[in-house]
Amino acid sequence: MEWVETTGRSIDEAKNAALDALGVAEDDAEFDILEEPTQGLFGRTRGEARVRARVRPTQARQKTERRNPRRKPAGEKSNTDQTAGEARPERSNSRGRNNDRPRQAKPAGEGNRRPPREPREPRDDDRPKGDPVDPALVSAQAVTFLTGVVNAFGLVGTVVVEREGEELEAQVNGDDLGLLVGPRGNTLVALQDLTRVVAQRRLGDHDTRLRVDVAGYRERRRDALTRFALKVAGEVVESGQPRVLEPMASADRKVVHDALSEQTGVVTRSRGDDPYRQIVVEPAPSGE
């Protein structure tokens, strides 16, 4: 099976990008975590998550298909024919009415391999891994792709890229760009993943960290979450009762944790699994 490599701000984001590329559900894929984000200065996460994934091999099915042909030369003919005859109705129910067993094995194998063949072209395996890529080239690719997206949606906007060291932020500016943000920024997250594929993965760039923002949404979201977190913290201190917040994406949870990290009287923790992972704001133990 072919492996694909994807990146994201978190492990979950990178896994979801891999599942989209493979065209399978999570239960049908297996993952290797190649790199995890690290905590930088001022609460900012540096680097990004990088995973590789492939469609889970179907070895058990292949053994079952080989079992009956091996019995033919070993046992008595009558027993072998009888066994094969009993096995055919079961295969007919799951695969169809084709009783030619060797032909059934081939399309089954091809069916499992077809989904991962789609992302082969973006992988650009011919480029040596680790070969440095000029951030200016990454920026140019991001601008070209995002400009094309804006035009394809019939919107009006401009794209600029700001660089700070190895961090790039592509900003789409304009009016009425809510379509590119989506509910709670879900469309923006998908747009960022696609931009990373075009501007980084195809070029083999593993050094820069590319983020995408639309009409200043991320800054407004950060400010709103910070105000909300401080309000909740005040209520928890006043009531002495913990407060469980609604499920949030990892980026939003980080904003809340950072906003309350130095707030006296409360502590925060996360519980549950994505996409239903929640933050619990509770009174700090006495002495803290």
- The CATH number of the domain holding residue 237 is 3.30.1370.50
- Residue 23 forms part of a structural domain: no
Can you give the residue range of the structural domain that contains 77? 59-117
| Number of domains within the chain | 3
Is there a single domain that holds both residue 156 and residue 195? yes
212 band by pLDDT with thresholds 50, 70 and 90: very high
**Last residue in a domain, options 99, 117, 135:** 117
Would the pLDDT of 74 be above 60?
no
Average pLDDT (265-283) is: 91
- Residue 107 forms part of a structural domain: yes
**Last residue in a domain, options 74, 93, 117:** 117
Average pLDDT (256-262) is: 92
**Last residue in a domain, options 164, 191, 215:** 215
pTM: 0.48
Would the pLDDT of 80 be above 60?
no
Is there a single domain that holds both residue 202 and residue 261? no
Q: What confidence score (pLDDT) does residue 288 get?
A: 57
Average pLDDT (38-55) is: 72
- With CA atoms as reference, report the closest residue to 122 among 193, 200, 32: 200
Is there a single domain that holds both residue 200 and residue 241? no
Q: What confidence score (pLDDT) does residue 41 get?
A: 52
Task: Name the more confident of 208 and 43.
Answer: 208
